[in-house]
Amino acid sequence: MGLVNHIFEADTFDAKLMEYARQFLPPAKASKAVGRIKRAVQSGLEVSFSESLAIERELQQQLFTSEDAKEGLTAYVEKRPAKFSGK
């Protein structure tokens, strides 16, 4: 079912957990985008479908004007890995 993707041993749990979590932070990922996605999902659950789409559009618009969005598009065009800053 895909409910469990990782199992960490107790003696290395903290270190492995931090290593796993770092992959969602700059420069590996656009943390601002990850945060906005989480916010859209959480907020969208509490309102009607049309309101949740409006929230998603607003958050997406904010992301398109971010430095990370510009970096992501530039990196794609230049065929290189993106280096996100969280801004």
Task: Kindly give the parts of the chain with pLDDT less than 50.
Answer: none
Provide the token pair at 73: 């598009």
| 5 is a domain residue | no
Q: Which domain holds residue 65?
A: 27-77
- pLDDT tens-place string over residues 49-64: 999 999 999 988 988 8
DSSP 80: S
| 17 is a domain residue | no
Amino acid at 22: R
| 14 is a domain residue | no
Question: Rounded to whole angstroms, how far apart are CA atoms 79 and 22?
Answer: 23
| 4 is a domain residue | no
Share of the chain above pLDDT 70, in %: 100
Nearest CA to 63 out of 35, 83, 22 is that of 35
CA dihedral 70, 72, 73, 76 (to 10 degrees): 150
The number of folded domains in the chain is 1
CATH number for position 51: 1.10.12
